[in-house]
Amino acid sequence: MSTPNANPYAIARRTIFVGLSVFLTAAAFVVLLKSYRGVPVFGWDYVVITLFPALFGMIAIGFVLALLGFFDWLRGGDPRHVMRRNWREKESEQPLAATAIVVPVYNENVARVSAGIANMWQSLEKTGQLEHFDFYLCSDSNSADCWVEEECAWLSLCRRFNAFGKIFYRKRRHAINGKSGNVADFCRRWGKRYRYMIVLDADSVMAGPTMVRLVRAMEANPEVGILQTQPYMVLGASLFRRVLQFSSRAYGALFSQGCSMAQMSSGSYWGHNAIIRVAPFIAHCGLPFLPVPDKSRRHVLSHDTVEAALMRRAGYEVWIAYEEPGSWEEGPPNLSDMLTRDRRWCAGNLQHFWFLFARGIDLGSRLQILIGLMAYLCSPIWLVFLIASAFSTYQRVQFLTLSAGPADLGSSSSKFTEILFCLTLGLLFAPRILGLVRAMAERKNYGGGVRLIASALLENLLSMLLAPVLMLFHTMFVVLTFLGLQIRWNAQNRADAALDFTHCLVLYGWISCLGLLAQTIAVLYLGNFSLWLTPIFAGWILAPVLAWVTSSPSIGLACRKVGLFLTPDEVVSPTELDGLEASPDEGKTVSPTWTQALVCPYVQAVHLSLVRLRESDVEDEPDPADVRRAEHLLREGPHALTPRERLRLLWDAEAVYDLHQEVWSRPNAELHTSWLVAQHEAISSPLLTRYLLHDDAGML
């Protein structure tokens, strides 16, 4: 273990990082003040001056991180990084330890999750080190269909790979505290069996050699508590997802490398695609309740940053393994789904304010928390800054128009205004230019230099148009969070399906109206000064069209066909990603999937084997309400039950067994017609043919 802030190299690098960021912000602030020399200053100007350091500071931080990452890349990597130490010279001789691969799921595309686990199993098998790894599919799904399909998928994986006792399935009865509660449940039940756990998301995939190397790195460095990989976005079909995965690959590693360079052992943890030392995680990373009056709001929503801070406080190191290949995830397929995700993240990040000044937190962890907070707080600050700038400009225009000698005012300040404008643009676009220079070194993996440059230009244009749209939504999310409105953590959509234009008009039309109104007012009252706001107005006006066009898989695939937004994982596709692009609707049944647990003997056997019987040895009288509910189900069909009632039924093993008898023994006239369809599917259901009736599984 290491004491936080004790490493002199970390202190020196963090001093350089903070010092450069503060210096650039201070220099820009001085230029801003000089731009007011010789001109009248109004009330709104003081708002601009007050907010400027916060906004420019975040631009400076992004630039410095990219600059440090670029420097580290030029010198061939950080020799003091945990993945570059002496143990790598004899890596193959480094022993392994028991490791759990934990895959939390919540109403996911089960076929996609199952295929990902299968690919990782086969990749590990090729390393010859499979004996050290177990898989855990930990479900919080509140969809009865997903629950039953997950059980069948688990059995299919076990039979396919003869993996009973190696691949486990766990369905929580009460999904308390979301994903963090799911992982905590794993730690309580099975954590003592394992020295490490590799935590994944439902859409995550990691290569076998990468997982083996991560375990060896942890074994060789017992002071490391969390080792976070750099997951790259893959499998995108929509234009939005393809642009995201291109920017993630071209620029993402630069920021991660810069963060590692500056923070060293106080790096980030993103909640997935990372390996964790289980014992200290259990001992020190239990999430505390927040000190708020409302008990329903005390749980920490975004757990990853807090867990990294607690691990660091306990004396263990947190590193970013930015150079490790073979770590992937999928991005949101369209703007609407990304905004849904961002609302959850905003609520979670704003909670981290409670930890910003907590006792014992490492300075590096405090910086991570602060940057996470400002990622969303910058949006309302930017909006107020724009409004204040517009009003101050209007007041200045009016003053100069009415003054006796307008030519004498502002002549000396215009030079400083131009300098500030160029400095801001330079720091904004420099990280992208540095990332492009780095990507040019492997341009063949991006479709060639010309296609790489064209992709970067288009990505910059799209990002510039979307930035003001995101600013409005993030501002709204911050306001809603401060108002105390509850955030529902729904399942994430991962399917590349185009948005309906009507949906885009309803969700983004108000932004277009705002943009048209704001532009009209700006032209009338600001004159030529309104041209400075054109990129913002353009993004607002085009918001519905941008959301609609970028959600299109056909446009995205057309771009891929001509070589735009290509990534190295598409030029040379890893085998771990094979077969993961299946249609989300493939294999769906006509009747609800969960009914097969009542009708199909195979599916029922799987389900009953995973559900505990009632603990009482005495045969209790059936609950009259349950009897009425069962009769209602048989006569009115599966849709007669609410989602919660379906889950309650499936947890009752005796009720599932009894209903199976009733469905097959009752005359058809006493059953709803949907049960007849379910009976037919019990023989030819895609659920069976996909998971249970494989010839190689030996079920036939």
State the DSSP string of 311-356: HHHTT-EEEEETT---EEE---SSHHHHHHHHHHHHHHHHHTHHHH
Number of domains in the chain: 1
DSSP helix/strand/coil, 108: coil
The pTM is what? 0.91
Strand partners, 198: 101, 275
User: Is the Cβ–Cβ distance between 232 and 446 less than 8 Å?
Assistant: no
User: Is the Cβ–Cβ distance between 42 and 392 less than 8 Å?
Assistant: yes
DSSP helix/strand/coil, 171: strand
Backbone phi and psi for residue 6, each to the nearest 5 degrees, phi listed first: -85, -20
User: Is the Cβ–Cβ distance between 356 and 370 less than 8 Å?
Assistant: yes
Rounded distance between C-alpha atoms, residue 440 and residue 448, angstroms: 8
In a domain, 632, yes or no: yes
Q: Highest-confidence range of 272-286, 614-628, 652-666, by mean pLDDT?
A: 272-286
Q: Mapped to the 3 state alphabet, what secondary structure does 494-562 carry?
A: CCCCCCCHHHHHHHHHHHHHHHHHHHHHHHHHHHHHHHHHHHHHHHHHCHHHHHHHHCCHHHHHHHHHC
- Residue of 278, 287, 291, 279 lying closest to 307 (CA atoms): 287
More confident of the two residues 403 and 692: 692
Provide mean pLDDT across the span 363-374. 92
Rounded distance between C-alpha atoms, residue 570 and residue 340, angstroms: 27
User: Is the Cβ–Cβ distance between 322 and 483 less than 8 Å?
Assistant: no
Rounded distance between C-alpha atoms, residue 346 and residue 343, angstroms: 5
Q: How many residues does the chain have?
A: 700
In a domain, 477, yes or no: no
| pLDDT for the residue numbered 697 | 43
Rounded distance between C-alpha atoms, residue 85 and residue 173, angstroms: 44
The rounded percent of the chain whose pLDDT value lies above 90 is: 68
Q: What is the DSSP letter of 237?
A: -
Strand partners, 205: 328
In a domain, 518, yes or no: no
In a domain, 650, yes or no: yes
In a domain, 608, yes or no: yes
| pLDDT for the residue numbered 3 | 57
Provide mean pLDDT across the span 218-227. 96
The distance of Cα 426 from the centroid of its chain, to the nearest Å, equals 29
Q: How confident is the model at residue 587 (pLDDT cuts 50, 70, 90)?
A: very low
| pLDDT for the residue numbered 551 | 94
Rounded distance between C-alpha atoms, residue 110 and residue 580, angstroms: 11
Q: Is the pLDDT of residue 53 over 70?
A: yes
Provide mean pLDDT across the span 384-394. 92
- The overall longest dimension of the chain from CA atoms, in Å, is 99
| pLDDT for the residue numbered 614 | 60
In a domain, 276, yes or no: no
Give the helix ranges, DSSP H, for 221-334.
Answer: 239-247, 253-263, 278-284, 303-313
| pLDDT for the residue numbered 417 | 84
DSSP helix/strand/coil, 294: coil
Q: Highest-confidence range of 1-10, 448-457, 573-582, by mean pLDDT?
A: 448-457
In a domain, 331, yes or no: no
164-182 pLDDT, tens per residue? 999 999 999 988 888 999 9
| pLDDT for the residue numbered 465 | 95
Q: What is the DSSP letter of 26?
A: H
One-letter amino acid at 684 equals S
| pLDDT for the residue numbered 239 | 96
Q: How confident is the model at residue 624 (pLDDT cuts 50, 70, 90)?
A: confident
Residues whose CB is less than 8 angstroms from the CB of residue 355 and which lie 6 or more positions away in sequence, other chains included: 306, 309, 361, 369
Provide mean pLDDT across the span 217-237. 95
> How many distinct helices (H) and strands (E) make up the chain?
27, 10
Domain span including residue 611: 593-697
Q: What is the dihedral of CA 597, 600, 601, 606, to 10 degrees?
A: -40
Q: How confident is the model at residue 298 (pLDDT cuts 50, 70, 90)?
A: confident
Strand partners, 169: 137
Rounded distance between C-alpha atoms, residue 131 and residue 4, angstroms: 35
Among left, alpha and beta (phi > 0; psi -120 to 50; other), residue 642 is beta
Find the range with the poorest average confidence among 54-63, 277-286, 373-382, 622-631.
Answer: 622-631
> How far is CA 141 from each of CA 106, 108, 174, 273, 589, rounded to the nearest angstrom?
4, 8, 10, 21, 19
DSSP helix/strand/coil, 307: helix
- With tokens 């309906």, the residue in question is 500
441-495 pLDDT, tens per residue? 999 999 999 999 999 999 999 999 999 999 999 999 999 988 877 655 555 656 6
| pLDDT for the residue numbered 529 | 81
| pLDDT for the residue numbered 36 | 85
- Residue of 237, 234, 248 lying closest to 330 (CA atoms): 234
Q: Is the pLDDT of residue 518 over 60?
A: yes
The Cα angle at residue 458 between residues 454 and 459, in degrees rounded to 5: 115
Q: Is the pLDDT of residue 39 over 90?
A: no
The secondary structure element, H or E, covering residue 99 is strand 99-105
What is the pLDDT of the chain when averaged over all its residues? 89
Provide mean pLDDT across the span 578-598. 71
Strand partners, 327: 206
Q: Is the pLDDT of residue 575 over 70?
A: yes
Q: Reduced to 3 DSSP states, what percent helix, strand and coil does the chain have, rounded to the nearest 5?
A: 65, 5, 30
- With tokens 């749980």, the residue in question is 299
| pLDDT for the residue numbered 127 | 95
What DSSP string runs through 384-419?
HHHHHHHHHHHHHHHHHHHSS-GGGSSTTHHHHHHH
Characterize the bridge pairing of strands 224-229 and 317-321.
parallel
User: Is the Cβ–Cβ distance between 272 and 231 less than 8 Å?
Assistant: yes
Q: Is the pLDDT of residue 291 over 90?
A: no
b/e per residue 213-245 (b: at least 16 CB within 10 A): bbbbbbbbbeebbbbbbbbbbbbbbbbbbbbbb
Among left, alpha and beta (phi > 0; psi -120 to 50; other), residue 165 is left
The distance of Cα 57 from the centroid of its chain, to the nearest Å, equals 25
Q: How confident is the model at residue 557 (pLDDT cuts 50, 70, 90)?
A: very high
Tokens read off for 115: 């295929």
- With 0-12 / 13-18 / 19 or more C-beta atoms within 10 angstroms meaning exposed / middle / buried, residue 308 is buried
Q: Is the pLDDT of residue 414 over 80?
A: no
